[in-house]
């Protein structure tokens, strides 16, 4: 199956597809960011990688069977007017739509932030769905937490799948997410049943499972006040692993002068908050053999997303630490993509 990847970033979709049961070949990928392109090239080569998708005519893109995209979402200036294709001009989703319109791949898989479904009281999302329906696609959508795929991170994202000319036989009851359940019942669209039957069977990991052994000064939260604070306080740490975020304590501002979010310290026996595309990442408490606090390393952030050591090490030799943090936070979680693609295969065979 031939695949086109838009807004490819470092290749999270590509990794997820590669680790699935789908026999696939990437025939086209597009990414504008030079640092993300460098990380993509070191793992996948540059043969089919192109730049700014807004500068590429849709007629020049190779034919493909599956389109994947983690498109950035700007607000739609006239979203909610329900004019479909015309409502999305000037947004990056328009780039996805124009290529779907021209190339008519049989399938697509899109990923975006959780709040896509609630922007402008759901009208932005309804415009996206109407556009996809108008292009001939039957769709399903849901919000999936990467935690479901066994990853030690709380990361909710919106996923949309589509089949060209698929049967309209949707269920309006959404089993995974109440917000999506209400949204599906609030408007008419052509849909099919996909996400309700999607299951994950990955073993659950926790922060402790992805840690490097490091006391590198660049990661330590370490000054005289912090050392005194740790000496004076004994924190009750339950070492039984739980698949939820476990905040142990907040560093007082007079101990570590930073924003509230950056003074939160988490247990390694739980999961991480959503990692962001920035270097001021989550802080963890290490209690043995000595007590100290440090932030997660770039490699740990990539592992929270489900990337493997070989892939991560290639990137670490290619771009700066700041870019590594950014790229990890912007990426899709490959194990989620793998499960979706494996689930999609039966629909592909039926079609």
d(CA 133, CA 102): 15
Q: What is the DSSP pairing of strand 283-286 with strand 292-295?
A: antiparallel
3-state secondary structure of 169: coil
- Is residue 73 flagged as an active site residue? yes
Residue 346, phi then psi, degrees to nearest 5: -65, -35
H or E element at residue 109: strand 107-113
CA distance 3 to 109: 11
Catalytic residue among 69, 73, 161, 207: 73
Measure the CA–CA gap between 299 and 48, rounded to whole angstroms.
Answer: 27
CA dihedral (314, 144, 271, 73) in degrees, to 10, reads 60
Reduced to 3 states (helix: H, G, I; strand: E, B; else coil), residue 203 is coil
Catalytic positions: 73
């Amino acid at each position: 199956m031939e695949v086109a990847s838009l807004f490819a970033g470092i290749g999270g979709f590509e990794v997820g597809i590669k680790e699935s049961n789908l026999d696939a070949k990437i025939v086209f990928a597009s990414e504008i960011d030079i640092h993300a392109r460098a990380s993509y090239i070191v793992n996948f080569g540059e043969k089919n990688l192109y730049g700014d998708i807004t500068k590429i005519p849709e007629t020049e893109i190779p034919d493909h069977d599956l389109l994947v995209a983690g498109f950035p979402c700007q607000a739609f200036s006239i979203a909610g007017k329900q004019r479909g294709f015309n409502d999305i001009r000037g947004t990056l989703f328009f780039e996805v739509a124009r290529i779907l319109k021209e190339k008519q791949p049989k399938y697509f898989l899109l990923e975006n932030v959780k709040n896509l479904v609630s922007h402008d009281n759901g009208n932005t999302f309804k415009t996206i769905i109407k556009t996809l329906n108008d292009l001939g696609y039957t769709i399903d959508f849901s919000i999936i937490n990467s935690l479901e795929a066994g990853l030690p991170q709380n990361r909710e994202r919106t996923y949309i799948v589509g089949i060209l000319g698929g049967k309209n036989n949707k269920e309006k009851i959404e089993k995974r997410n109440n917000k999506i359940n209400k949204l599906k019942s609030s408007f008419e669209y052509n849909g099919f049943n996909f996400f309700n039957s999607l299951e994950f069977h990955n073993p659950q990991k926790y922060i402790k499972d992805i840690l490097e052994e490091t006391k590198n000064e660049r990661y330590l939260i370490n000054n005289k006040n912090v050392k005194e604070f740790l000496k004076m306080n004994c924190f009750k740490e339950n070492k039984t692993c739980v698949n939820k975020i476990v905040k142990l304590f907040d560093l007082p501002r007079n101990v570590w002068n930073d924003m509230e979010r950056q003074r939160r310290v988490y247990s390694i026996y739980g999961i991480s908050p959503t990692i962001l595309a920035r270097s001021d990442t989550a802080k963890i408490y290490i209690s043995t053999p000595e007590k100290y606090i440090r932030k997660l390393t770039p490699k740990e952030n990539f592992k929270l997303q489900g990337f493997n050591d070989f892939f991560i090490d290639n990137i670490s030799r290619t771009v700066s630490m700041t870019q590594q943090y950014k790229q990890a936070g912007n990426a899709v979680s490959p194990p989620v993509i793998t499960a979706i693609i494996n689930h999609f295969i039966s629909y592909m065979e039926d079609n």
